[in-house]
Amino acid sequence: MNLKQKMINSSTKIVKNKKLNDRQYLLEIQWNDFHNIKPSNFFMIAINNASIVLKRPIAIFDYDTNKKTISFIYNVVGKGTLNLSKLKVNDKISVIGPIGNNFGEYKNKNILIVCGGTGIYPMYLFAKTFSNLNKITFLCGVKTKSNLTIYNHLKKLNINLITCSDDGTIGFKGNPIDWLNKNIDNYTYDIALTCGPNILMKLTYEITKSKNIKTLASLEKRMGCGFGVCMACSIKTKNNMRRVCVDGPVFDMDELIYE
Ligand SMILES: Cc1cc2nc3c(=O)[nH]c(=O)nc-3n(C[C@H](O)[C@H](O)[C@H](O)COP(=O)(O)OP(=O)(O)OC[C@H]3O[C@@H](n4cnc5c(N)ncnc54)[C@H](O)[C@@H]3O)c2cc1C
Ligand code: FES
């Protein structure tokens, strides 16, 4: 895959920047070129603030070829995302994307998705893209019900949706790992895909590896440039150093080193 051919450095317009709950926002930008977009691709998004030079990486949540928009869901965690949340409809915004590899194409497979937190958003696009061709179990975890702002989107998909919440306000009371430990023996899967907090991906892999299920993870790492130059996103793997932005964000978990 030649990333330099596919990513576009563009100034575009904000179509929506809507608050979903106390820290989540849905950002929609105008976009024209959709043929390269794949689930788990991300964009580097400028913050439009002179004191914040670096763009921030955010995964594609969804896109609409009729409306000509791409959408993202982001959590406000620091000054970049806080400033992003203050941008208004019709504001100009500079972005680079789509960036990164993807989970691949699937047909007639039993797919297990394990995701949590911000990792739920890219997995939604995967499930939306492949749910009619495969049997997908979508296992997702949140702290509490109000954090699962995309529940209605997920409910519309042809998937086996299993929600987990730490406080029991939605679905299974506990986290996705508790659910897997109780239930994995009742199912067979061809492949597992995971995205979310490192601990969730690591523990998922411990379980899936013990069942000989190939497991891919989409990683989140702090980024500088987003196109392979600054090395800020480097990780140590069994195949030497790799950059999450251009070599990932999706990696085979057999390749990763967990310390
Ligand atoms: C490929 C990729 C896809 C992502 N997709 C999404 C998404 O769909 N929605 C979403 O809300 N967030 C996503 N993130 C995380 C998002 O990029 C960070 O939350 C954001 O850059 C924080 O910027 P900030 O200036 O607000 O926070 P900062 O002030 O830079 O940091 C605030 C806190 O967030 C942590 N942080 C900063 N950057 C990252 C990062 N890249 N990964 C993990 N923790 C980080 C810091 O360690 C610190 O604790 C993604 C990250 C990557 C690499
Ligand atoms: S963010 Fe610069 S090399 Fe990956």
Q: Which ligand is nearest to the CA of 39?
A: 1
Any domain includes 187: yes
Any domain includes 245: no
139 near 176, Cβ under 8 Å?
yes
Q: Are residues 50 and 123 in the same domain?
A: no
Which of 54, 74, 99 represents a domain boundary (last residue)?
99
* Whole-structure pTM value: 0.94
Answer yes or no: is the C-beta of 15 below 6 A from any ligand 1 atom. Answer: no
Shortest-distance Cα residue to atom 7 of ligand 1: 58
Confidence of residue 225 (pLDDT cuts 50, 70, 90): very high
Any domain includes 236: no
Q: Are residues 38 and 92 in the same domain?
A: yes
Q: What is the pLDDT of residues 107-135, one digit of tens each?
A: 999 999 999 999 999 999 999 999 999 99
Q: Are residues 162 and 127 in the same domain?
A: yes
Answer yes or no: is the C-beta of 243 below 6 A from any ligand 1 atom. Answer: no
Q: Are residues 78 and 156 in the same domain?
A: no
Any domain includes 247: no
Residue 159 has pLDDT above 90, yes or no: yes
Pocket test for ligand 2, best of 3, 7, 229, 242 (most atoms within 8 A of CB): 229
Confidence of residue 6 (pLDDT cuts 50, 70, 90): low
Buried b (16+ CB within 10 A) or exposed e, 15-54: bebeeeeeebbbbbbebeeeeebbbbbbbbbbbeeeebeb
Residue 9 has pLDDT above 90, yes or no: no
Answer yes or no: is the C-beta of 247 below 6 A from any ligand 1 atom. Answer: no
Q: What's the mean pLDDT in 91-99? A: 94
CATH assignment at residue 26:
2.40.30.10
The long-range contacts involving 45-50, CB below 8 angstroms and separated by at least 24 positions, are: 45/72, 45/84, 45/93, 45/95, 46/93, 46/94, 46/95, 47/80, 47/83, 47/84, 48/83, 48/87, 48/91, 48/92, 48/93, 48/94, 49/83
Answer yes or no: is the C-beta of 128 below 6 A from any ligand 1 atom. Answer: no
Any domain includes 42: yes
Give residue 210 CA to ligand 1 midpoint distance, Å: 31
Q: Are residues 89 and 141 in the same domain?
A: no
Q: Are residues 114 and 214 in the same domain?
A: yes
Q: Which domain holds residue 56?
A: 3-99
Q: Are residues 158 and 78 in the same domain?
A: no
CATH assignment at residue 145:
3.40.50.80
Answer yes or no: is the C-beta of 46 below 6 A from any ligand 1 atom. Answer: no
Q: What's the mean pLDDT in 79-102? A: 94
Q: Is 51 strand, coil or helix?
A: coil
Q: Are residues 130 and 88 in the same domain?
A: no
168 near 159, Cβ under 8 Å?
no
How high is the pLDDT of residue 100? 95
How high is the pLDDT of residue 3? 42
Half-sphere exposure of 155 (CA within 13 A, CB side): 6
Answer yes or no: is the C-beta of 77 below 6 A from any ligand 1 atom. Answer: yes
Cα separation, 63 vs 144, whole angstroms: 27
Q: Is 49 strand, coil or helix?
A: strand
Atom of ligand 1 minimally distant from the CA of 245: 1
How many domains, in total, are found in the chain? 2
Which of 51, 75, 99 represents a domain boundary (last residue)?
99
Any domain includes 19: yes
Any domain includes 88: yes
Give residue 4 CA to ligand 2 midpoint distance, Å: 13
Any domain includes 55: yes
How high is the pLDDT of residue 37? 94
Q: Are residues 83 and 142 in the same domain?
A: no
Q: Are residues 35 and 116 in the same domain?
A: no
Pocket test for ligand 2, best of 7, 54, 99, 243 (most atoms within 8 A of CB): 243
Pocket test for ligand 2, best of 227, 235, 251 (most atoms within 8 A of CB): 227
The DSSP call for residue 146 is G
Residue 5 has pLDDT above 80, yes or no: no
Give residue 57 CA to ligand 1 midpoint distance, Å: 7
Measured from CB, residues less than 6 Å from any atom of ligand 2 are 223-226, 228-233, 243, 245
Which of 40, 73, 99 represents a domain boundary (last residue)?
99
Q: Are residues 87 and 134 in the same domain?
A: no
Beta strands in 121-253 (DSSP E): 135-142, 160-165, 172-173, 191-195, 214-218, 234-237, 240-243, 250-252
Q: Are residues 208 and 118 in the same domain?
A: yes
How high is the pLDDT of residue 259? 66
Confidence of residue 2 (pLDDT cuts 50, 70, 90): very low
Buried b (16+ CB within 10 A) or exposed e, 92-104: ebebbbbbbbbbe
